[in-house]
Structure 1
Amino acid sequence: MIDRFAGRIGRFIFPAGLALALAGCGSSGSSSTGEPSTTQKLGNILMFQSATPPAPNQLPQDDEVNFICPQVIVADGGAAIRAQSGPDSGSLRSQVSINTVARECTPVGKDGAFTLKVGVEGRILIGPAGSPGNYGAALVTQVMRNNQVIARRSARVGGAIPGGQTGADFSHVEGNISVPAGSGEVEIIVGLSPGGGEPARRRRR
């Protein structure tokens, strides 16, 4: 499921504003208390390095750049990683899953090159066969053009689940990804992997 938030902020024009693509059942918009949602906070962190955006009159203004930032795609088979001790559901030790993704593109010149940040929020859970401890998986971020990988990053995500709890949230921002100018559609693909291998090439839009 992918939600799109249309809009223009400063010198960036995105097909989805800050384009928060939701993998699974994330929430969008503000909460009933008026506080920003999880997706809004992640987008604000990516763009403004703060969960709270600046006032409109503090945003940069540059109407000369009309730039389309590619959407983020969660790879099929890469949305969740499970560790099990057996084939049945009661043997599940832990699960690491992606809940929300977002990105920010910064054009470099006017030839189509840009730098990229990709943010991911997710959750780790203990299953019936699990116990408190540290759990995680490799998060692989790939940028592709014409089915060729032009940038690839891998990072360990997850965290510790203390005694008395069954789950914990995590977040990760991969920044300073350089995307050179070139012809062809650019795709940003993220996925979880048990040991840092490439996420599945078949993709879910």
Structure 2
Amino acid sequence: MVLRAAAPRSLGRVALFAVTALALTGCGGGSLLGTSPGSESSIGSRFSQLFGSKSQAVGEPAPSAAQEASDAQLTCPAVAIRAGASTLAVGLPGKPASGSDLRYQITITRTARDCNLNAGQVTARIGIEGRVIVGPAGAPPTVDIPIRVAVVQEGVGDKVIFTKAYRTSVAMADSSDSTVYSFVAEDVVYPAPKGDAGDAYVFYIGFDPNGLKPQPAPRSSRRRAKAEQG
């Protein structure tokens, strides 16, 4: 069953990337959807195949999803970008990610989502499309893209219903100033909200470079490891 769309959230929280992208590109503006040099058209086509009209450019209102009478009290939340997590700039080692030391900057340009209800659980797919823009210092052949997807119930105190960090990568085109990437989180599952509670739900996305870093081992484990080596 496809759930109806929630009302679009305020765009005030969405930090839009503009000045750096224009400076670097001139006039150019779950599962990885297969990226390789020169594959922008196939990426866009695959993204459209998965989500059809249920996608929107960053800054556009979320489109309405198909609705059935039995789903009238359920919502498929709108997608929003966490403030401060709409772009990710990476510089040379030990250098600030700006000016001539900027290697690349990753942006989000388009999002999509769909939801299905089964046995009281909502299973959602969240799609993200964007660009990796090459900086003056030059990007590596392959760029890692760390993404976090969360389901949040907004209110006086926001409640995190689901959150997960993902990592994907994109091969950079040698002759291009930017490369398109596309990613779909297909394992977003959470209990169906009751009544009108779903109207306060939001799918939050953004870049999270610390999300998948390995956690430090407990001190006791490190001491034990040293003792065994000794």
TM-score, normalised on structure 1? Answer: 0.64
Deviation, structure 1 residue 95: 0.9
Asked which structure has the greater CA Rg, the reply is: 2
Q: Give yes or no for the alignment of 1:156 onto 2:164.
A: no
Q: How does 1:35-184 map to 2 (within 5 A)?
A: 42=47, 44-46=49-51, 62-66=68-72, 67-85=74-92, 86-87=95-96, 88-108=98-118, 113-145=121-153, 147-182=158-193, 184=197
Which secondary structure state, in structure 2, belongs to the residue aligned with residue 90 of structure 1? helix
Q: Which amino acid aligns with 1:14?
A: A
Q: Which amino acid aligns with 2:204?
A: I
Deviation, structure 1 residue 39: 8.0
Q: Contact between 2:4 and 2:67, CA under 8 Å: does it hold in 1?
A: no
TM-score, normalised on structure 2? Answer: 0.58
Q: Which moved more, 1:99-108 or 1:80-89?
A: 80-89
Unaligned stretches of 5+ residues in structure 2: 18-42, 54-65, 213-230
Q: Which amino acid aligns with 1:135?
A: V
Unaligned stretches of 5+ residues in structure 1: 1-9, 26-37, 49-59, 198-205
Give the number of equivalent residue pairs.
162
Q: Which moved more, 1:151-160 or 1:133-142?
A: 151-160
> Counterparts of 2:149 and 2:85 in 1: how far apart (Å)?
11
> Counterparts of 2:87 and 2:126 in 1: how far apart (Å)?
18
> Counterparts of 1:23 and 1:173 in 2: how far apart (Å)?
21
> Counterparts of 1:75 and 1:133 in 2: how far apart (Å)?
28
Deviation, structure 1 residue 90: 1.9
Deviation, structure 1 residue 186: 1.6
Deviation digits for residues 126-150 of structure 1, max 9, x if unmatched? 1001144111221000112352222
> Counterparts of 1:42 and 1:170 in 2: how far apart (Å)?
10
Residue 69 to residue 143, structure 1, CA distance change in 2 (3 Å): same
Residue 73 to residue 40, structure 1, CA distance change in 2 (3 Å): farther
More strand, by proportion: 1
Deviation digits for residues 141-188 of structure 1, max 9, x if unmatched? 011235222212221134111322222111111113211034542221
Q: Larger relative contact order (C-alpha < 8 A, sep ≥ 6)?
A: 2
